[in-house]
Structure 1
Amino acid sequence: MPSANQTPENQARDLIDQKLYQAGWDIQDKNAIDFNASLGIAVREYQTDAGFVDYALFVDRKPVGIIEAKRDEEGHRLTVVEEQSREYADSKLKHINNQPLPFIYESTGKLTRFTDRRDPKPRSRLVFSFHRPETFQEWLTQPKSLRDRLFDISELDPSKLRNCQVTAINNLEQSFRRNLPRALVQMATGSGKTFTAITAIYRLLKFADAKRVLFLVDTKNLGEQAEQEFMSFVPNDDNRKFTELYNVQRLSSNYLAKDAQVCISTIQRLYSILKGEPLDEAAEETNPNEMVQPRQPVPVVYNPRVPIEFFDFIVIDECHRSIYNIWQQVLDYFDAFLIGLTATPDIRTFGFFNENVVSEYTHEQAVMDGVNVGYEIYTIETEITKNGSRLIAQEFIEKREKLTREKRWTQIDEDITYTGSQLDRDIVNPSQIRQIIRTFRDKLPEIFPHRQEVPKTLIFAKDDSHADDIINMVREEFNEGNDFCKKVTYKAKEDPKSVLAQFRNNYNPRIAVTVDMIATGTDVRPLECLIFMRDVKSRNYYEQMKGRGTRTLNHDELIKVSGSAPSAKTHFVIIDAVGVEKSVKTDSRPLESKRSVPLKDLMMGIMMGATDTDAYTSLAGRLARLERQVTSEEAQKVQELTQGATLGDIAKALLNTCDSDVIANTAERDYQTKNPTPEQLESTQENLSRQVSSLFTGQLIEYLDKVRQVHEQYIDTHNLDRVIYAGWNQEQQTQNETLITDFKAFIEANKDEITALRILYNLPYQQRPVTYRMVKEVLDILKKDRPHLAPLRVWQAYEQVEQVNSQPINELTALVALIRRVIGLDETLTPHENRVNRAFQAWIFHKQAGASVKFNEEQMQWLRAMKEHIISSFALEREDLDYAPFDSMGGLGKLYQLFGDEMEAIIEELNTALVV
């Protein structure tokens, strides 16, 4: 290590030497060159015809590059010396008739810039350290550099891709060709971000000959989901699956396979690999944004097992929450292009990716394009949710242990006043939960008209204890069994993956309750309803949670699990039971106030290397309180898990890392000096932090979290809640009115262009009826140009605005009724089949009003069958009589036998009287 007594120049050289050694280079003086010593040789002060270069780099005896060394204080001027570096690289080395050298570094030892002169427009870039000799050897066997090969990527085949995906991939590849190091892909949840990323990765591997790509996630769950998508991906230009073409490794240990072209890893695991430390699997179940963030992160150092050039590209999933603080070091370490994927970027995200947004595809655009479905908001407000309540002193109140659910009665000494925000943590009011669930049950016919089963519904709970209360209440209020409603959390006794698969694919469960596990990143396409029984303060997190409902699903797939669904999934409903829509949102999860950070998250953060003083003192206080509450059996279990340390010992060790006197005394002892230097004090504090963080394991954290949950909460059965409002919120009404206005504008704008509209607008003068093909033409144009005006969605808007309670048979019949309502043929929204039935009755009455026509029962049977055909197909044509159901009734011949020469007139009259 450099010494404080050295000159700045020598300090820089020592740091450079150290980094070169780490990267596999042998450093030699110009008068003692030995090419047999190593594949890569860095020769100091090598003479060129432009002067002495600080370091000349040789690989397998051949010169490949140079290093221009500068003092640390000149770090900000490294780009200024690039001309000098280029002159050395262009010069002739003494004794060698070399060509210009391709690789150039400028370095202070702390800051290093690198230029690959083989690139189309060579541009220096910051690198964490030096590249390995083997890397240069491999690069030089290739006719082009990676950045040059990016121009060889063929034109994208847009088939099987959405327009937003085509735009994202084309713009991303253009960004690569411009040699921009970071790019952000912003695509709405449900629009296919992962599929887009895998398509781009496939093209990079195939056409640009990328060596290795990292797909970085922040939870184990998302890693498993990404692996499944790689396994099922089949490119347009090959019938084989991605995993048959390229090796894909999802990291579940610290082993990195060198023959894997794609590695899937959590950012936590990769951080632990770079630090050379094992990782407890529990650390991969919580996204880093939920952990305590350190003020001074434990730095990543060079790891020869994973050199900086190990990955050419890094794709960061959910990048809005996993690229900051301690975790950014993982990204800064690698000399790779960075591609961020997110549906909900914030200001920090845009800044990190240098405002290079290659795709901006919002939820609103996705809804307009029919890629996503929109949502409607239904509010349930109860008195206790809004105002809280009070328990009166001297009353006997039930108390319950959160974990065991064991109950006991106690008499309280003083009044306990609680707010709505305290519900389900300190105090549970069963009536409040019951009123929300009961209102949801009773209002289902209003929220989802004409449905025979409960639509697939996801309820967000505050914690596992709250989730259990909700599940029990749902089963009771809906009078259903265990399969009807289940919990999907990491702590569920039943395998959460199995429950999630059932929720996606089976009839039951109809309702799932979760805390965080499927709040983000998990697809449940049949999901049609989200109930928020917990508030959410993070704007991004709330958008991610809402995104669970945005996925589209066609009618055939939806009715597999929701048999009475009238059509494809057209929207989803958010039921706001806690005021989540109105609460103030921040750009990120508030983690500064450690009082609001869950105990588990504090422990996870410190296990992962957080050195935030507030986190240490806050955790110390909580563990000290917990020690006074635990039983002797629980205390003994803690000592078993920590190899002898008590909760008090851990609390003391946490405080010692923040106590300047303890740090000074420890440094004096360890370094045997009365006056430790600032560096020694800092090193001592780091050692103390490392020692205490090593006490925390996933097993200990899980156990302490369970012990915490054992502690009791009051059950308020004295104060009964009541619903003070249940209905669509005002914003929803405005959205419905806007939707209706947009639909009217579309119909008016196309009244002279589309045949069906032209006929309907010109009634009663036009005698030609509207046919199935004409209505289908209108529907196809809507789907192509105005997908957000899906007929069933507009129908629902009319239902809410005009208080209509009816259900169309399908999209086509809905569309005819909507058009008639818009142009004034019907005063109220009237289902097509209702109107046809009434018109049929009127026609029969008119035909039989005179004595000349009396239909017998067999004729009436045929007329009713013809009417039913017109309801679904809008018209009856002669050839239709050869098919079901008419063929089984005798077909065209039987109809002629019944009506004789009047047959043609009957068909025409029915078409005219019933359709228009």
Structure 2
Amino acid sequence: MGDGASNFEFLKGHSPQLARLGTLAESYFRSDPPAALIKLRQFGEFTTKAVAARHALLPPRSVAFDELLRLLQARSVMPRQLAEYFYHLKRAGNAAAHEDKGSAGDALTSLKVAWAIGIWFHRTYANDPGFKPGPFVPPAPPEDATASLRSELAELRQAVAASADAEAKARLAAQEAEEARLKLAEEAGQEAEQRAFWESYASETEAALRTAEATLAATQRAAEAAPPQDLAVLTHLGAESAERIEVDEATTRVLIDEQLRSAGWEADSTALRHAGGARPVAGRAMAIAEWPTQGGPVDYALFVDGRCVGVIEAKRRIKDVPGHLGQARRYARDIILSAEQVPLDGPWQDGLDSYRVPFVFATNGRPYVKQLATKSGTWFWDARRGDNAPRALAEWLSPRDISERLEQELGEAHAGFAERELGVTGLWPHQQEAIAAVEAAVARGQDHILLAMATGTGKTRLAIALMYELLRTKRFRRILFLVDRNALGRQTLDAMSTTDTSGFLKFDQVFPVADLAKKFPEATDRVQVATVQSMIRRIFGDPDAERPTPGTYDLVIVDEAHRGYTLDAELREDDLGFRNLEDYLSAYRRVLDYFDATKVALTATPALHTREIFGPPVFHYSYRQAVIDGRLIDHRPPRRITTALSQTGISFDKGEEVTVLDPRTGQIDLFDLEDQVDFEVAEFNKKVYTRAFNRAVAEAIAAECPPDGPGKTLLFAARDDHADILVEELRAALAAEYGAQPHDLVEKITGSVDRPLDRIKAFKNDPRPKYVVTVDLLTTGIDVPAIVNLVFVRRVNSRILYDQMIGRATRRCDAIGKEFFRIFDAVDIYANLQEVTDMRPVVVDPNLSFATLLGDLGRAETDEDRTFVRDQIVVKLRQRVKYIDAERREALEAVLGPLGDLADGLKAAPPSHTVELFSKHPQLAAILDAANPAKKRDGIYISEHEDALISVEDDFGNKASPADYIESFEAFVHANMNAVPAMVAATQRPRELTRKELKELALLLDEKGFSEANLRRAYGAARNADIAAHIIGFVRQAAVGDPLVPYETRVENGLARLLASRAWTPKQRQWLTRIGRALKAEPVGDPEILSEPLFAQFGGFEVIDREFQSGLGEVLKDLNAAIWDSPSAA
């Protein structure tokens, strides 16, 4: 092909090597199609490297083509629909290079694909987003071209002739002239001269390619030096350009053929055609092209074992997809099939319509992109029920997927949700309610379902019971249970092997379970447990490797669904393939979107992102509810550890020589500071190492948590190397306080230790270790009920992560008499979280200036918006006032008062006060914007500053002391004792009090900050006596002056008085004694208490009531009165 005749000519100006490779591939098209495919693979690979270099992503070492493609996709540089083109070139080139495979038709398709890639590259990186290349100019047909290839080439030539693009017409004319010249040359015997020309051109191209690859390093360096926003603009431009890529109908069909083959179908729209004699065969899964219907041929008919199970309408990429399902549905009605080709359960009636085929598809060959759902993916409709909604699939269903779906009858399954006895025994009421809520959501067609249950309330057992019910009713055929680490997966598998069902078999004996080691489930498997990370690798790793199909599972249950949303969790070893948590989250979301399945998410902390994926919870059982129900243990007010350095922070003076550690290399360097550098306690152990601070904290913990005390202690460190420091200091502190201790009394358990899962088991089951230091490994999902102390030596800014950390200690442990647990706060985590919502930090963009925020505040139209902006100003103000220099601070405080109190004043006042303040002092915003901390050198500073423990005190929030806390509680009770029905009953009518009212009262007090654990601690500290008086006892003490008496004593005395009040039969006395014992754990005697398993096994309230001649309800009220009307019995 002569100069100017190549389709790749437009690349010459900025990427001559790509133009050469494309032109060379065109030249090989007629004579050597495999060689053309090899050159086009080189075209694709070099383009990938050029893209990576322009985004500063080219690895320093040589990497495989597909590895680089995965990297660019992971970094959102290469959209998925574009990556599919590159994979096409890679597959075709590999087959040509290794197996000498490739026809002229294959080469033509790859030429058109490479041309589309070149257009995208030109639009994105040549600063020419509006570039219009005109139509593709086809090469001359080879001598042995098939009829279909000649037809396709003729259509392409006609498209050029019909276009208004003069340049394309000129290229076509040049190509035709070149074709005529070649023919004359062949006739004149000049083939050798022509061959020599192209061999020379090929050699020059290879040399130019090597030179161009060498220049990529310079391109990479330039990208590394470019501002990040420039690279972001380039990425955005690439995504926009990818959306405008167009290929013709023939190429679309070839790409769809590849997708179908990847899913397990025999597909070749050129060879496997009805008109060519292709017919379904028993035992094979076939996609036969152009199958006849009464209204014209359908693009593909899908056959499994000789029967038609689906029809496909395939349109070009530029068309929207769902609109074409209507045409596909018509084909499903009108398809021409013999009796033996119709599925056994067909046809399916929908009103007046009768469908001979159960599954209907429409596609444009484009990979599924959620943001462009109607323009991508494969749209699918199940014709078996008229109320089924069409939906997009990430990829094609496999023949096995379709066969398994045909075996399901969803109507009968939903009917099975009717009233029945649950198959897993011993479930708590809230677990039964959760299962009912999920089943109701499934029955109404909801496909994203969220369950929010506090850590320790039996999510794993609930999940197993839920799976049992959904499999037993045959609503779902195979379930994927997703966890985010191997430890949780093994924990779930262990639970499945020990959970009893009503048939006296374990769960995994009833339903086969595929474990973590099995990549793909067997046909007989009903549950597969897998980690998110492994599933990401299986689905999005090598596109040519075997992987699950979208229909492999029809239910996905996600355990710990909040994972990935914690703002400052460290990536674990399993996550190191991801750039950051946002990258992990993106891949996690893609896994969920990939499967055509109902998704049920379990979480303890329903974060904003979780709700965005799954919607609001269909059932919510909070930590506070679980505490009130006695399922979980409450914590006492945090014990705040204050040291000299935590109060003042760490400062390095200007000119001081400091030691800075590079955490990546371990190298330590000395530097002289150009400015003063300050660190707050939040940065301790993250940005500055201070052994003295950790020593002071360790001494406090050693004194507060002795080795011979009950339970275990878990400490949260900032980094893995910080955990080592804490272990050393805590061992030393314990030895100093109590003498020599076993070395394994204190251990670090992080991902870096040998066999961390074995160490976790030892922490849970063995006497030692008694103290464990961790970073993130033990923050979620690990069950160690004996933990009674949590120590925060790490500041977290995520309420989600904090709540998960707290959840490590909430489980009951009756074996050690665990009534509560303690929290030790060495880094002001409580004060910090006052400024953090449950979902995200108040300050959305830390780079916003005060001037910008004040402008936003002035423009805010609603009270909610004004409060939101005001809160951002308050948080930013707290951070900045610390950095105002002494001279300006003194001048400002003379006018405004103490700057440390300024933020509190603004927070307490309406937003208008903030506007007035900054309007009155217009220089204040500029001063605050200028008050930035000194720029810190990269690395971790090492502090030698001395430190000392100042105090370990209970933190009652904004109540300065236990007495203040009690005073606030009493004021609340007096203000509400006649207004809140539950409080009226507790203080004036305890005889009538029900468990429902008690829960309402406990929740109300909890919302106001008056939990039973906090009240017990405050009264105990104020009166030097720890009395477990129960929440009712504390309320009555505040309201009517009842003395605080241990609740168990009240029950014993009240029961004794009731038994002595009249003559009871022996059977009645026996029941009353049992009820009295139950009341010690389940306060308030009402008929509901007799629904508990202890009494339900004897028939519950109805049966026991007969022993009291139908008067048990009144007897229970008398018992309540005996317990609460008088504090003690004579």
Same fold (TM over 0.5): yes
1:39 to 277, 284, 289: 284
Higher relative contact order (CA 8 A, sep 6+): 1
In structure 2, how many angstroms separate the alpha carbons of the residues matched to 1:186 and 1:370?
Answer: 18
Question: Structure 2: which amino acid aligns with 1:180?
Answer: Q
Give 2:600's aligned amino acid: I
Q: Distance in 2 between matches of 1:818 and 1:95?
A: 80
- Amino acid aligned to 2:624: E
- Cα offset, 1:108, TM superposition: 1.0
Q: Is residue 249 of structure 1 aligned with residue 514 of structure 2?
A: yes
The Cα of 1:266 is off from its aligned counterpart by: 0.9
Q: How far does residue 518 in structure 1 lie from its aligned partner after superposition?
A: 0.5
Matched AA of 2:985? A
Residue 906 of structure 1 is matched in structure 2 by: none
In structure 1, distance between residues paired with 2:1037 and 2:763: 39
State the shift of 1:102 in Å. 1.0
What residue is the counterpart of 1:436 in the other structure? Answer: 697
- Whole-angstrom distance in 1 between the partners of 2:399 and 2:638: 60
1:311 aligns with one of 553, 570, 582? 553
Could you give the per-residue CA deviations for residues 465-493 of structure 1, whole angstroms, max 9, x where no partner exists?
32233233333334341368422423575
> What residue identity is the alignment partner of 1:431?
A
Alignment of 1:230 with 2:486, yes or no, is no
Secondary structure at the aligned position of 2:618 is classed as strand
- Name 2:384's counterpart in structure 1: 118
Q: 1:387 to 1:88 in 2, by over 3 A?
A: same
Q: Aligned partners of 1:378 and 1:429: how far apart in 2?
A: 21
Change (3 A) 1:113 1:304: farther
Any conservation in 1 of the 2:657–2:672 contact (CA below 8 Å)? Answer: no
| Ranges in structure 1 where 5+ consecutive residues have no aligned partner | 278-300, 446-450, 560-567, 594-710, 758-776, 837-868, 881-911
2-structure distance, mates of 1:873, 1:534: 51
Secondary structure at 2:397's aligned position in 1?
coil
Q: CA RMSD in A?
A: 4.7
Match of 1:577 in 2: 826
Cα distance in structure 1, aligned partners of 2:968 and 2:421: 37
SS at match of 2:642: strand
Mark the CA change 1:425 to 1:741 in structure 2 (over 3 Å): closer, same or farther.
same
Change (3 A) 1:304 1:95: same
1:558 to 802, 816, 827: 816
Equivalence for 1:797: 1015
Partner Cα separation in structure 2 for residue 472 and residue 872 of structure 1? 53
CA contact (8 A) 2:282 2:305 kept: no
- Structure 1 residue identity aligned to 2:295: A
Counterpart of 1:749 in structure 2 is 985
For 1:265, the equivalent position in structure 2 comes to: 530
SS in 2 for 1:381: strand
- The one of 586, 606, 612 equivalent to 1:325 is 586
**1:59–1:747 CA distance, 2 compared to 1 (3 A):** closer
Deviation for aligned residue 1:257:
4.2
Alignment of 1:267-666 (within 5 A): 267-275=532-540, 301=543, 304-322=546-564, 324-353=585-614, 355=615, 357-375=617-635, 376-390=637-651, 417=677, 419=679, 420-424=681-685, 427-440=688-701, 453=709, 456-478=712-734, 479-480=737-738, 481-482=741-742, 485-490=745-750, 495-553=755-813, 556-559=814-817, 568-569=818-819, 571-583=820-832, 585=836, 587=839
How many residues align? The count is: 666
Cα drift, residue 19 of structure 1: 1.8
The answer on whether the counterparts of 1:150 and 1:177 sit within 8 Å (CA) in structure 2 is yes
Conserved 8 A contact 2:750-2:775: no
Q: Aligned pair in 2 of structure 1 residues 216, 738: CA closer, same or farther (>3 Å)?
A: farther
Displacement of 1:160 after TM fit?
2.9
Q: Could you tell me which of 185, 188, 191 is aligned with 2:454?
A: 188
Q: Displacement of 1:26 after TM fit?
A: 2.7
Secondary structure in structure 2 of the residue aligned to 1:470 = helix
Deviates more, 1:261-270 or 1:8-17: 8-17
- Residue type of the alignment partner of 2:255: L
Query: In structure 2, what residue type is equivalent to 1:749?
Result: A
Change (3 A) 1:116 1:392: closer
Residue by residue over 1:133-181, the C-alpha shift from the partner in whole angstroms, topping out at 9 and shown as x without a partner, is: 34434444x3x43576344345354673333322322221222223332
Query: Could you tell me how far apart the structure 2 residues matched to 1:539 and 1:914 are?
Result: 44
- With over 3 angstroms needed to count, the CA separation of the structure-2 counterparts of 1:372 and 1:338, relative to structure 1, is same
Report the Cα offset of residue 742 of structure 1: 7.8
How many Å separate the matches in 1 of 2:687 and 2:996?
Answer: 55
Amino acid at match of 2:330: E
Corresponding residue number in structure 2 for 1:657:
none
Q: Check whether the contact 1:102–1:117 (CA below 8 A) recurs between aligned residues.
A: yes
Output the CA distance in 1 between the equivalents of 2:1055 and 2:702.
32
Q: Deviations over 1:551-586 (max 9, x none)?
A: 234xx4233xxxxxxxx52x4332221122233558
SS class of match (1:490): coil
Counterpart residue type for residue 435 of structure 2: I
Structure 1 residues 327 and 794: alpha-carbon distance in aligned structure 2, compared to 1, 3 A threshold? closer
Conserved? CA contact 1:739–1:794, under 8 Å: no
Letter in 1 for 2:529: I
Distance 2:628 2:326 in 1: 52
Whether the 8 Å CA contact 2:658–2:942 is kept in 1: the answer is yes
Would you say 1:73 and 2:318 are equivalent positions? yes
Structure 2 portions without partners, runs of 5+: 1-87, 89-108, 114-135, 137-155, 157-246, 348-355, 367-376, 565-583, 846-938, 1065-1125
SS at match of 2:312: strand
**Displacement of 1:390 after TM fit?**
4.5
Residue by residue over 1:414-471, the C-alpha shift from the partner in whole angstroms, topping out at 9 and shown as x without a partner, is: 79855234533565434322333334455679xxxxx982653211112233223323
Paired residue for 1:677? none
Give the Cα separation in 1 of the matches to 2:513 and 2:470: 15
Deviations 1:637-679 (A, max 9, x none): xxxxxxxxxxxxxxxxxxxxxxxxxxxxxxxxxxxxxxxxxxx
Deviation at 1:10, TM superposition (A): 2.7
Give the counterpart of 2:255 among 15, 27, 30. 15
Residue pair 1:808, 1:831 contacting (<8 A) in 2 also: no
Q: State the secondary structure of the residue aligned to 1:512.
A: strand
Q: Structure 1's 108 and 356: CA in aligned 2 closer, same or farther, altered over 3 A?
A: farther
Aligned-partner SS, 1:327: helix
- Establish whether residue 179 from structure 1 lines up as the match of residue 428 from structure 2: no
SS at match of 2:638: strand
Pairwise mapping of residues 759-798 of structure 1 onto structure 2 (< 5 A)? 782=998, 786=1002, 794=1012, 797-798=1015-1016
Rounded to whole Å, the distance in 2 between the matches of 1:427 and 1:241 is 52
Give the 3-state SS of the residue equivalent to 2:697 in structure 1: helix
8 Å Cα contact 1:807-1:831 kept in structure 2:
no
Change (3 A) 1:735 1:204: farther
Distance 1:872-1:133 versus aligned 2 partners, 3 A rule: closer
Which amino acid in structure 1 is aligned with residue 1015 of structure 2? A
1:723 to 942, 946, 950: 950
Note if contact 1:799-1:805 (Cα within 8 Å) is conserved in structure 2.
no
CA positional deviation for 1:273: 2.2
Amino acid in the other structure paired with 2:457? S
